[in-house]
Structures are given as structure tokens and as C-alpha cells.
Amino acid sequence: DELRQTYCDLIREIYREHNPSKLDGLDKLLEKYTGQEQDLYLTICGKYNVAPRDPQGPGDLAWLESAEEHLGRLLERLVAAVVLHSSGLQLPEAKGLAAWEKVRAAPPPRTLSHRFELTGLPASQVGQLGTELHGEDDAKWRKLQERCAGATVQIPDASGTPRVLSVAADSVGAGGRSTFDGAVLRLTDAVTHAVRDCLDAAEGAQRFEKWSLPWVGEEVAYVMSSPDGDSADCVRQEVGVEYRRGCWTYKRRAPLHVRSVRHSLCGPDVEARLPRMWRELADKVWQSIMSLAWGAAVPADVVVVVEATGGHEALPACDGMRDACRAAGPSASVVITAPTDEELARANALIGPLLTKALTDFNANALFVPAFLSMPQLRGPRVRPAMGVRLPQLRGRAGGRDGASSSSSSDEADDAESEELMSDVEPSEGYRPLRLPREKVRDAYLQGLLCLNCDAADHKHQDCPFKKKVCWNCHGNHAGTECPMRCRFCKDRHEYPLLECVKRVCRRVSDWKKSKPAQEQRNVLSSFEHLMIKLEGFEDVDLAKHNREVQKIVKDLAEHNALFPGDMDELATSILDMKPPQKRAIEQITPPPPPGPPPKPYVAPKLPKESPPIMPENKYLWSEKIFLDNLLARGMYGSNVLSRIIGRGGMHHRRMETESGARIFFRGLGISGRDAELNDPLDCRLHIAVKGEVPQQGRSVRRIIADIIGEFDREIAENGEVGPRLDRPRDADLHPFGFMLPKASGPEPEAPLKFKFPEEDGQTLNDMLGWLKQAKLPMELDSDTQWRTMLQVTPTEAALPDDAPEEAEVIADAFGRLLDEWHYPSPYWFEEHDLKPTGLWTTMTAGEEDGEGPCPIALQHGQGVRLTAAAASHFASLMEQAELVGGAPRETIEAVLMRLRGVVRKQVEDEQLLLFLAYPWAWFSESMGRGGLKVPFGREKVHELLVELGRIGGKPTESCPAPPFRGFSVEWVPMKAGTVRAEGDRRPLPTVAEPAPAQAVAAAPPQPQGPFG
């Protein structure tokens, strides 16, 4: 008890000096690690860089550091003695072997460097890292320099400059290569400690930041040779280079690189050209590898080594080269190592093409040949040191060169607060030890009996007998989401709680068990068990290869690429190498011909030239077609009428079949799904096919349709909405008839037009200026010095004078109502001869009112337009005949119509125009994703149908005898009466008459009946 209290006082003294915030939780920490006070004290001393003191006397425990070095040498000698004893060598032979080892030629010396790349970190993180590396009063930095004596170490300071973190040395030094390897390990450990301290000191989301530092290693081999044989006058010559690339990440344990692939350069040019181009080839491959992003394209745990040498002769020792150098031939290789097969495959898939490209650039007659090596290993259990004993660190060269951290016991323990110490003590209301390791937590969760509140695997946390709730991760007195320690299940830091981590891991296990590879693995294991059972029934295994069931099982396992164990491999090989028995050819015996005369030769029947008529459908005694486009109201154009008639969930469809007792089929273009069979325009119309036994069933369906359409009429009358407004589309641009919805905006702005003229064409420029001034178009010259070379014109139309008559607003409203009430065969689609473009084209087409009309390019989507004189006269006569504007003279109506300006919202031609006029419902099948909407007629038939619908089309020319039929949907801008008028012009305003359907029909030109009419 006295010794335990002494350690407690020493720990309290360290916390009071270095971290006073931990004094409040010291009693709980000591209670948690009862009996391990010395380990806890030594770990805390290592974390805060404090020399441990001996609790039994006034001295300190600094002798432990030198004891580790002596213990390492003693262990090395002990291992050497054990190896010598087990090898069977005699003492004279061992001495001779040791003497040969001292005098044998060594590889050439090397200049070594290892650096961490800090360019990817922000300046604040680099400064924080430099602060932790230097420590208070540069204590950590001085200690690191002492431990890395013989090597040059550079680290950033508190301000983040210089952004260098590197180690450099020469293998010719006093310590040789071991000095550099030790410096790399110690620098990596210092970085690990510094990053851990940065995370512990951070707050909020910064505690979960990912620290990733790519590192680069470079080794250049050289020899010292003398041209004249004088050892005092030696010249340094580089003979080889080795590059290494990896990425350091902050992890509790470094991953084991147990998968590797070595690409060795083979081919004639290895001996012929490699001695001359080895350095260029290595640098080319290295630059390609450095262009890859570690942690993104290449997994962070992958390490790549590039080696290349041009070869050299054996050389004796001289000044600058301590030992003799043995000869070596030219070679080049690239080694890729990774912890898993998946990471190795990803890295190899990226680096393999780079190697091929490098050889192609050098036009080398060689090839990188890959060789794969897999060494699966299992990490052994961690051994806890006994009281008063500290095990020395046994670090390998590979661990430090990979850039991973091989931390001491203080690193593994992380202040002894995240150590996984499982206890057998039963929990109580005041003490909750951690009792379940990772495997038991996973198994208990999968069985549905896991309580992390008391670490039990026999009940759920809802049934926990202890009322006090603790942190499920460390069993501390805080919320689980506020736990400062790493997750004890995955050994990592994350924001989600411990139970969510367990769920994710177990979910991945469950998903894998349901996956195809897991099923294949279970099938393979089951097949192996079945095979072993079959083989047990044979006294001689050689006889089993002739058994059909055994052969089938072995072949099935071979198809799954299964590896057979040693006792089954020979049997499986013999079965797979067996050749099937050769089948003997059976001679066909020709029977004698039957008696009597020979039969007449077979004559194939001739097929008729025309296909036989279609057989009538005998399943139904009576059928009828009810065309819906004759029954629907005009306000339904542009809405999804078919969905409304079918009803939500097919409600109306079921009602028709239930009340009539007949089968109801909806047919028409884009509906039946058999458009290839719709060759008759009549069958393309929207109709209902009623198939039953008596005509009364058809009358019943008509009655139901009348009820449904009556509901539509009442909805239109109540809401005042027609066309696509009935569908209430969320996005008008996605609706097939969204262009009918008014946008209340003018034509889209056009980019300025620029004209460039040569300096010698001054007359042409002057003529253009004169024409633009007459057109009253705004223009702009770039500068006074360039007015003869560049001219910029904004293609906008000059504003009309504000002298519109008082009847303008009334006449414009009447014209809009005339177009809305147009219902033969659909709302009016303007033709080319009805419209003229505005803007820059107004002046260019001013003289073409009675000519051939504007170019089709001018009338496009979004183009501003106006009515032609002929169209204005035609619509004025219609409005006058229908008495839509009473009291207004004809000239005033035409003048107002000529002042109207509109925007083309939709421009279609030929097939699309026919669809909008006669088959508008078919567009909704296109919008629902069926696709492939096409009229089942040729172009000539389409033109005939458009002529029948009253379309005129374009004027034929010699180059185009059959121009396309174009249609334009125009949104007209509202007009108001002007403020400037002639004096005495005060006529009474005309009244707008409500046009009856009969009046609109009488006013419109006679055209054939169409949909929605």
C-alpha cells in the first residue's frame, strides 16, 4: 500500500505540473488500474517526457534507458549463440565464417534521404505540428537530435517554416546504414507523438481530422574509382538509385505488408542499353509514379519501390569508400507492397500501364515481368510487461521504411486510457469494468444479447440490472457521444457512438454472408466435406478416381478455382487429367428398299403471293369504337385527358367494365403500345374499344363517359382553368404543353452583332451606317480610331410611338379570346405567312410583305414576331364577322393588329405538327418515358392529313418542291391605349362581345372536324 501511494503521489505531481485538468479524474484512473501503478507511472512519464524516479529511494530511473541498450546487445549475443548451436557448426568453422564476413566485399555505399511531404497540410496544422515536435523550450527537439546523432534532421518550427520534415545521411558514416534507419524510426515516432498530442489538444470536429503525410525515400549508390589506379585520386561515380514512395497515416497499429508484386525488367536491352540509360529510365518511372495521388487513386497503405542500376565492376577500398565493393550487373525493378489483395490490385492496375509507357518512350526492347508474392501472417497477442520490467523495442527495417509508426508501450497505451484491459471482476453499481473483447461484443450483438452498460452478453441493455448509466465506450461518467477516447471496437476515432460502430461492422458481416462469394465459399466447403465422406468409403484412394460422384465433385471444385490440400491434390490432378474414353464409331446399316414401285418425288406447295385475310375475332360477338375526341370539351386541349378518363388507380376503367359487363380497351396513337399496326388514321384517334355480346353494353359505356365528361365541364366552369393548367404542373418546362402557359415576358435578348470591314472599304462602311440610321437601330462604334474597321449593332427593334388608339386594349383582348376559342381542329397554330420577325429583321424584311415571306431561319423559338398585313386583314374580317368588337372600324382593327408583338413559344413541323393538331394526347406517353413516339405514316401522307386539317404550308420552290409544314405557337404581349392622339379623336370605346360557339364556328373558315371540336 505504501508503494502504491508513492506511485500515486508521483503521478499526481506530474499531472499538477504538465496537465492540471487531469487531476479531477486521477482517482478513477488509479482505481481502474489497480495493481498496475508502476506501468501507469512509466507510461505517463514517457508521454510528458519526464525522467522517471525510483519510489524506493532518492535516485531516479534513468539507468533504465542504458539498460535497454545493454539488454539488446545481450539478446543479440544470446540469439547468435542459439543459432550457432542449432546449426551444427563447430567453433573453428564459426570463426572462419565470421572472418570471411569481415573481409568480404560489400555493396556500394549510398547517400540516404527520407522526407515527409507537408505541402498538403494547411499552414496552421504545420505550425501546430512544429510546436509539438519542438516541445517546451525545444526539449523534444534537442532529445531527437541526440537520438539521431550521425544524421541530418530538419523539422518545421512553430510558424510552420521551413515546410521540411526530413532525414539525410551517408552509409559511409560511423554508424553506417543503421544510423539512418534508426533516425527514420525515431523521426516517425516523434511525428506520431506530435500528431497524437495535436488531436488530444484539439476541440470539436478538429479532434477527428485525418492526418496523412506522403513520404519519399531516395538512395543513390555510388563508387569511388581512380582512372590511373591511384587510390588517393578517386572520382565519385553514381551506379544505382532507389526511390521509395508511401504515405504515413495516424494508426494504432501499422498494417502488415504481406502482399507484393515485383516487376523485373527483362529483355535484350537490359544488357545492351540499360548501362547507359538506367538513370533516365528510373527518373521517368519515378516521375510517373509521383503524379499519382496517394490516399485517393492509390491506397494510402501502398508502398512503391523503384530500383535501377547500370552495373559496375568490383572495386577495392579507397578514400571515400571504406570497404571493397563487389561487382553487380545492370538491373531494374519496381516493387509494390500492400496489406490486402484489393489494394495491391488497385495499385498494380495504375502503375502497370506507366511502366509500359516508359519503355515505349525509350523504344526499349524489354518488358517488365511481374511476379506476385503473398505471405499471410497473423498478428500475435500483445504481451504486457511484468511489474518493474520494460521490454526493449524490436523494430525492423521494413517498419520504418514504410513510413508507419512502431510506437513504444507508451504509444500503444495512449496514456493508458485507451488500453484494452479486460477484467474478470463482476460489475456493480459503482464499478463497471470492461469485460467483453471485440470478438465477444460482435458475437453478442449478432445473438441479440448485448449490454454495453455492464459489458454482459446474457441480456439486452434495456434489461440491465444497474440503473446508473455510463459511457459504453470507456465506462466513464459522461455521455457516449462525448467520449474523448478512441472506439474500443474499431480502435479509431469517429463521431458516431460505439453501438453504431458495432452495427456497421455486423451489418457488413451479415451482408457478406448473403453475398454471392460467401455462398460460393459455403458451397465449396460443403463440397469438400462431401468429398471427404466419399473418400472414407474407399480402402484404396486410387480406386476413388474412377467413381463418377467423386469425379463430379472434384470437377465442380476445380471450376470454383478451389485449392486441394496435399492429400487430395494428387487425386484431383489425376481426375482432372483423365481423358474421356473414346467412343467407337457405329456403322450405320442401310435397310433394303421396300418392295414395289419407288415413291413419287416430293413437290413443295406454292405459297400464295398475297397474305390471307385476317381472321375475325370470335371471342366477342359484338364490338364498338367510341371516339373520345368528339366528346371532350374544347378546354381539355393540352391536358392529360386519358389519365382523367381512366381515373386514379383505374377507378373509371373498373366502373365501365363492372357496370357494362364488357371488356374496355383504350386505343390510339401512343396508347395501345402497338403503333406499328395502326396504319389507318381512324385507328390512331383516341377511342375506347368496347367488346361484349350486345349493343346495350356500348350504350352503358357511353353513359358513363358522359358522366365523366360532365364532371370535367363542371371543374372547368368552377375553376376557370383550361388546357395544361388543369394538370397543375410543378415545372411548366417538363409538361408537353407547357408552352401554352403564359410567361409574361418578351423575346429573349440577343447578343450584339459585330461587323468588321477592311480599312480600304470605307464606302461600304458608310453605306452600312446610312442603312442602320434609316432603320433606327441602336449602334455603337468601338473607338474613334477604329470606327472604320469595327461596327457593333444591337439587334433590337425601335420602340413604337405611343399613339395607339383608345380601342387598342379592347381589340387586343378580343383577338386573344378569338385565338383561345379557336377549336378547329385545335387552338390556332400560326403558319409562316401569318408572321413576320421583329428586331433587326424588321427592316431587312420590310419590303417583303407581299413577297415570298421571311426565311424559316428567322422564325425560331423565342423570336419576336408580329402579324403580316394579310394575316391582320384576315383576323380583322373574322372579328368583324363574329361581332367580337362592336363599333370599331375595320381600319382601326387592322392597325391595332399590326401593332401587336408576340414571342414564338413553340415551333414544330410535319409529324410533330400533325401530333399537336390531331393526336395531342400521344405526347403524354412520350413524357412518361415510353419514348419512340412516331406517326405511322410517310411524309406524303402526313402532308395530305395536314391539308385536310386546313394547313397551307410553305411555297414550293425548284430546290424544295415539297417544303415542310410549319406551325408556330405565339404568346402575344398585352397592349394598352397610347397617351398621344390627334385632337378631337374621342370616339366611344367599342364593346367586347362574348362569342358563342356557333359564332366562332361561323367566323372560322370551313375545316374538317378534329379533336376537341
First to last CA, the chain: 106
Q: What's the pLDDT tens digit per position in 413-464?
A: 343 333 344 566 688 887 788 888 888 888 888 888 889 888 898 888 888 9
Q: What's the pLDDT tens digit per position in 465-481?
A: 888 888 888 888 887 77
Highest mean pLDDT among 33-42, 66-75, 355-364: 355-364
Cell numbers for 722: 383550361
> Can you tell me the mean pLDDT for 149-161?
81
Q: What is the pLDDT of residue 218?
A: 92
The residues that bridge with 666 in the sheet, in sequence order, are: 688
Q: What's the pLDDT tens digit per position in 218-268?
A: 999 888 776 665 555 677 888 899 999 999 887 766 677 778 899 998 988
Give 279-283 contacts, CB < 8 A, sequence gap 24+: 279/238, 279/241, 279/308, 279/310, 280/362, 281/308, 281/332, 281/358, 281/362, 281/364, 282/241, 282/243, 282/306, 282/307, 282/308, 282/332
Peptide bond between residue 162 and the one before it cis (omega within 30 degrees of 0):
yes
Peptide bond between residue 825 and the one before it cis (omega within 30 degrees of 0):
yes
Q: What is the pLDDT of residue 639?
A: 77
Tell me the DSSP string of 918-961.
H-TTHHHHHHTT------SS-HHHHHHHHHHTT---PPP-SS-S
Q: What is the pLDDT of residue 304?
A: 94
Q: What is the pLDDT of residue 633?
A: 65
Q: What is the pLDDT of residue 417?
A: 38
> Can you tell me the mean pLDDT for 723-727?
75
**Please, what's the b/e burial string for 267-288 (b: 16 or more CB within 10 A of its CB; e: otherwise)?**
bebbeebbeebbbebbebbbeb
Contact residues for 735 (Cβ-Cβ < 8 A; gap 6+): 724, 727, 729, 741, 927
Q: What is the pLDDT of residue 244?
A: 93
HEC assignment per residue over 243-262: EEEEEEECCCCCCCCCEEEE
pLDDT > 90: percent of the chain? 5
- Model confidence at 41, in pLDDT bands (50, 70, 90)? confident
Q: DSSP code of 339?
A: S
Residue with cell 511484468: 386
pTM, two decimal places: 0.37
Q: What are the CA-CA distances from residue 299 to residues 2, 293, 612 (Å)? A: 53, 9, 70
Q: What's the pLDDT tens digit per position in 774-808?
A: 655 555 555 444 444 455 555 556 667 766 777 77
**Please, what's the b/e burial string for 399-419 (b: 16 or more CB within 10 A of its CB; e: otherwise)?**
bbbbbbbbbbbbbbbbbbbbb
> ∠322-325-329 over CA atoms, to 5°?
155
Look at residues 113, 81, 122 and name the one whose alpha carbon lies nearest to residue 187. Answer: 113
192: number of CA atoms within 13 Å, CB side? Answer: 25
